[in-house]
Structure 1
Amino acid sequence: MMPMTLADITRAVSGRLLQAGPDPVEPDEARGLCTVSDSRQVGAGSVFVAIPGQRVDGHDFVPGMGAKGAVAAIVDHPVDGADLPQILVDDTIRALGDLARYNVELRRAQDSPFTVIGVTGSVGKTTTKDLLILLLSRLGAVAAPVGSFNNEIGLPLTALKVNGDTRFLVAEMGANHMGEIAGLTRIVPPDLAVVLKVGVAHLGEFGSIERTAQAKSEIVRGLVPGGVSVLNADDDRVEAMAALAPGRVIRFGLGARGADGLPVDVRATDVTLDDDDRPRFNLCCGQEDPVPVRLAISGGHNVMNALAASAVARHLGLESRDIADVLGEARRISPHRMDVRRVDLPDASFTLIDDSFNANPDSTRAGLKALAAWKGPQEGRAPHRIAVLGAMLELGPQTLELHAQVGATCCLEGVDLLVAVGSRTDGEIERMAEALAQGARDQDAGEGRIKVILAHDVDQARSLVEGEACSHPGSVVLLKGSHASGLGGLADAWLGSAHE
C-alpha cells in the first residue's frame, strides 16, 4: 500500500475519524490493510476494514486490533472497546473500493511507469493471470491476486497491494451480474483490457449469451482514455468489442485473420499436443520470426490463454524468445487448475488431471478434450479415461439441459467411465448429477461406449475411481466441478499421494 495518513484515508473514503481516547493522536502513516480473512497478518501500520459477512462480522474483531499494531479500523458503526481510531463510513465494502482507487491514483501520480492490466472472460481468467504474473515479473514487480480474487472485495484488496515499487497490477475482473465489471473498472481503470471468451458461465444471472457479452464488454468501456484492448479474434462476440475500444486493439488467436478480416497480431501456428497433453506451437508476434513454444501446463485450450498473456507481455516490451522461455517453465499455476500429477495409492496408481477449482459447460468441455487427448505412457495403448464431474452452478433455467449436454460430450469424446457426483443432502446438486449421467446414457444409446455411474457423494466417487483404477492400470482421471461439488477436497486427498 502507498503511505497514507489517517486524514488521507478518511478523505478517500468520505468517512469521519473517531479517536479511541480523549487525546487526539495522529499515528505514523498507514502502510498496509487487512480484513477478517487475513487478520492474522495485522502488523504495525495496518488499517483493519470491518466487513460484515454472513457468518462473521469484522466489527467483532475491532477491539484489540490496536494492541496488534493496527493504526485504525474502518467501520460502519462505532465499536465499543476499540483501542484504536475508527473511521466511520456508511458502507465498509464501498469504502474498501474507494481506498483502493485512491491507492492506485497515488501510484499513478509517481514519475515511474505503472500499468494496470484487467482480465475478464467466461473461462481462463485465472490461468491467464497466472501466466501474466510470470511473464511480467521479467520486466518489474507485479501485484496480483492469489487464486481468483476478482469481485468487489477481492479486486480492491489486490489493488491495495500496490506500492511505490509496483510496476504492474494484474487484476481479474469477474461478473455475476450486469454492471459489476463497470463497477470494478471505476475502482481500478485498466490501461490494458484482456477479453478471453464469451461463454455460458453465469447464464442464469445474465439470461442470454448476448447479455453475457455485454457484461464482459464493460471492461473495454472502462479503459483509461486511449487504453489498449487485447481481444480474442477467434470469438465473434469478443471481436465485436473492438468497436468499443478507445485506443489500440491487439488481436490474438489461431487464425491469420479475425472475424472482421483484420490481421491477428499474436497467433499460434502448428499446434500439437505431446503425450502429456502439453501444447507445442509456434508463437507469431506481428512480422517477427516465429518462436517455438513448449507450454509447460496441460490442455490444448491453454494455448489461447498463453496467447492472451503473450500479447500483453509483447506489447509491454518482453521479447518473444523470453516469452517462450517463461511459458516453457510455467508448470505451477493457481491450485486445482489443470494440475497434472501421478497418484500412487496402496492398491492403485493413476494420472490425475485436477481442474476442480470451478466449472461451467465451456471449461468442462475443454477439460474433456484434454482428457481425450491424453495418450499416456504405454505405446500403442490408449489409457483408460475416467471423468469425475460435479455440478455446474448459476446456469439458470437451462441448468439440467446443459448438464445433459456435457454428459453427452463425455460419450462423444471417448470417455470410458463417467462418475457424476451428486449429493445426499442437496437435491439440486443431485439432480444436476443425474442430468450429467442421463445425458451420457442417452448419447450412448445402449451401445456400451461409455460406463456411467451416479455417485451420491465425494466419498463414494473416490471409492469408485480407486477401484476402477485398480482394475485398469494406466488410467487417467479428470476432476471437474463447481466449488460446491466438493471435488477440490477429493483432489487434495489424492494429491497428498501425488508425484510430478
Structure 2
Amino acid sequence: MTTETAPPLWTGEDARAATGAIPHGTPPARITGVSIDTRTLEPGDLFVAIVGETNDGHDYVAQAFAKGAAAALVAHDRAETLAGHGPLLAVEDTLRGLERLGRAARARTRAKIVAITGSVGKTGSKEALRLALSRSGRAHAAAASYNNHWGVPLTLARMPADTEFGIFEIGMNHAGEIAPLSRMVRPHVAIVTTVEAVHIENFRDIRGIADAKGEIFLGLEPGGVAVINRDNPFCERLTMLASASDAGRILTFGEDERADVRAVTIVTKPDLSIVDARVLGERLAYRIGMAGRHIALNSLALVAAAKALGVDVALSALALGDVDPPAGRGARKDLAVPGGTITLVDESYNANPASVRAALETLGQMELPWRGRRIAVLGDMLELGPDGPRQHREIAGVALSAGIDLVFTAGPLMKGLHGALPPERRGGWAETSDALAPTVLGALRPGDIVMIKGSRGVRTERIVKAIEERYSEAAAKTATPPAAAQAAGRG
C-alpha cells in the first residue's frame, strides 16, 4: 500500500473533534504524523505548538508550514496572528490538546498495550519489546525516550488505528507523575524493571521511589497483568501496590527460584548474552544481541509480557537476538586511529549508580585486543541528594573489580571518584565534559575500548562526538589493526 493510498493517521476533522479545537481555515483531509519539533517534522504532520520552559512552539509555526505541515495545533490567543500560514486547530492549551488527541488514539485502538517503568532499563526494554512483539503483529513505540508529560501523549497520538501492540515507556522525577500517564495509556501489562536510588533527592527515601514506580499499576485495565522484579528488595512492596490495583494477575521475573519467569543460567559474551530460562515451569533458551547481565535480567520481564499477552513466547524471544544497542545506551563503533582501531561504547544518555555499575561490569567483560586497555569516561551522576558524594566515591571499587585500566572523570561530584582511585588508574579529571574531551583524545591508542557515561546535565555525549569527529568509522571497516593480526596468530 503506497503512502498516498494508505489511510491517514488522522483526518483534520477527526483531529478537530478529538481535541475540541476551533478550526481556522479548512482542516486538511489527511494528517500523516504528529510533531512538536520542526527539526524532525515531516510533510503531512500536524505540528503541535507546545509551550516549554525555554521555547514556545508558536514561534515555529511558520517554519512548520514551510516544511510541509498539514496543520498546526495552536492556542486560541495566538490563532489570529498565525492564521495566514496554514490551517490551524485552536485550543485553550496545546499540551492539553495533545493529551486529548492521545486519549482519542487510545480509545479507537484494539491494540494490546504494555507500559514500562523502572529506575534503569526503560528505553532498552521498550525497544527490545517492540522488536519482539513485531514478530506477532504491528507494533508501535516511541522513536526515542518519550516518557514524560508530553512524550507519552505524543506517542499515543502517533499510534496508527490498526496497531496491534503498543509499547509505552513512562518515567518520572517526582511522586505523582506516573499515575496520570499510566491512566492515559491504560496498559494491559505494566512492567517495573527495577527500583534503585535514582532521583533520590526528590524523595524522602528509596521506598518513596518504589511507591512512585508502583503508580504504573493504577492505569492497568481491569484484569491486566503486573510484571515485577522478584530479585529487587521492593518486590513485596510493589506486589502490594499491584494487588490494590485492577490487576488480575501478577508475574515476577528474576533469578530468584520463586520467580515465574526465572533465569536458570545467564552467559554474557563480549557482544551478546545467552539466557536459559524457565517460563512458568517451561524451558526457554534464547540469546540477546546485547552484552550485559542487567540486559539479560530485563529480558525476562519482556518474556513475561509476551506470555501475559498470549503471543508466541518462543518467537518473541527469538527476536531478541536481533536487538541492537541504541545510541547513548551501549551502541558500539570501531574507529580507526593511527596504527589500528579503538572501540567506542556510547553509554552517554544518562547515568545513576545502578546503570554505571552495570556499564562498568559490561566493559570489564569485553574481550581486549592485544595491548588494549579498558577505559571508562564518567560524568557526574545527578539528583542523588546528600548521599551523592559517597555514591560517587564508591564507584572506584566497582571500576577496580571490573578491571578497568583508566578512569577519566568530569564534574564536581566525580572529583571524589578521581581521588578514590589508585593513582595508576586515574586518567584525568576536569570540571566539564568539554574540558575533559582533549585529555581523553590525547590518551587513546590502538586496541583501547573506551566507554562513556554520565547524567544528561553533564553532556558527556560531547566527548562521544569529539572522538567520532577525530576518528573515522568508515576507515575502521577497512583497516587491519596490528591487534587483530596478533590475536589471529594465537589460535
Same fold flag (TM > 0.5): yes
Q: What's the CA shift for 1:449?
A: 6.2
- Aligned with residue 220 of structure 1, among 213, 217, 221: 217
Q: What's the CA shift for 1:137?
A: 0.6
Q: What's the CA shift for 1:481?
A: 0.6
Q: Does 1:117 align with 2:114?
A: yes
Deviations, residues 118-143 of structure 1 (Å, cap 9, x unaligned): 00000000110111011011011111
In 1, the alpha carbon distance for the partners of 2:76 and 2:208 equals: 34
Q: What's the CA shift for 1:394?
A: 1.9
Q: Conserved in 1, the CA contact under 8 Å of 2:179 and 2:219?
A: yes
Is 134-143 or 367-376 further displaced after alignment?
Answer: 367-376
Q: Does 1:187 align with 2:184?
A: yes
- Evaluate the alpha carbon distance shift between residue 374 and residue 455 of structure 1 in structure 2; reply closer, same or farther with a 3 A threshold: same
* Alignment match, 2:328: 336
Q: Conserved in 2, the CA contact under 8 Å of 1:285 and 1:320?
A: no
- Evaluate the alpha carbon distance shift between residue 294 and residue 72 of structure 1 in structure 2; reply closer, same or farther with a 3 A threshold: closer
- Aligned with residue 450 of structure 1, among 425, 428, 432: 425
Deviations, residues 373-408 of structure 1 (Å, cap 9, x unaligned): 223245xx8x52211101112222323232222234
Q: What's the CA shift for 1:19?
A: 3.0
Q: Determine which structure has the larger helix proportion and give its number.
A: 2
- Aligned with residue 398 of structure 2, among 409, 412, 419: 409
Q: Conserved in 1, the CA contact under 8 Å of 2:133 and 2:316?
A: no
Unpaired runs of at least 5, structure 2? 1-7, 478-491
Deviations, residues 176-213 of structure 1 (Å, cap 9, x unaligned): 11111111112211111010011111112223211111
Q: Does 1:435 align with 2:437?
A: no
Q: Does 1:268 align with 2:263?
A: yes
- Evaluate the alpha carbon distance shift between residue 39 and residue 418 of structure 1 in structure 2; reply closer, same or farther with a 3 A threshold: closer
Percentage of pairs with the same residue: 35
In 1, the alpha carbon distance for the partners of 2:400 and 2:325 equals: 29
In 1, the alpha carbon distance for the partners of 2:444 and 2:28 equals: 62
Q: Does 1:249 align with 2:222?
A: no
- Evaluate the alpha carbon distance shift between residue 138 and residue 393 of structure 1 in structure 2; reply closer, same or farther with a 3 A threshold: same
Is 488-497 or 223-232 further displaced after alignment?
Answer: 488-497
Count of residue correspondences: 459
CA RMSD of aligned residues (A): 2.6
In 2, the alpha carbon distance for the partners of 1:344 and 1:462 equals: 18
Q: Does 1:492 align with 2:465?
A: yes
Q: What's the CA shift for 1:37?
A: 4.1
* Alignment match, 2:276: 282
Deviations, residues 50-77 of structure 1 (Å, cap 9, x unaligned): 1123443211233576674524533252
In 1, the alpha carbon distance for the partners of 2:63 and 2:319 equals: 45
In 2, the alpha carbon distance for the partners of 1:40 and 1:105 equals: 25
* Aligned residue identity for 2:426: K
* Aligned residue identity for 1:479: I
SS of 2:326's equivalent? coil
Q: What's the CA shift for 1:32?
A: 3.5
* Alignment match, 2:3: none
* Aligned residue identity for 1:435: G
Q: Conserved in 1, the CA contact under 8 Å of 2:91 and 2:97?
A: yes
* Alignment match, 1:48: 47
* Alignment match, 1:211: 208
* Alignment match, 1:101: 103
- Evaluate the alpha carbon distance shift between residue 321 and residue 106 of structure 1 in structure 2; reply closer, same or farther with a 3 A threshold: closer
Deviations, residues 194-237 of structure 1 (Å, cap 9, x unaligned): 10011111112223211111110000122111111111111131
* Alignment match, 1:427: none
- Evaluate the alpha carbon distance shift between residue 377 and residue 452 of structure 1 in structure 2; reply closer, same or farther with a 3 A threshold: closer
In 2, the alpha carbon distance for the partners of 1:38 and 1:462 equals: 27
- What TM-score do you get using the length of structure 1 for normalisation? 0.84
- Evaluate the alpha carbon distance shift between residue 154 and residue 376 of structure 1 in structure 2; reply closer, same or farther with a 3 A threshold: same
Q: Conserved in 2, the CA contact under 8 Å of 1:342 and 1:352?
A: yes
Q: Does 1:161 align with 2:158?
A: yes
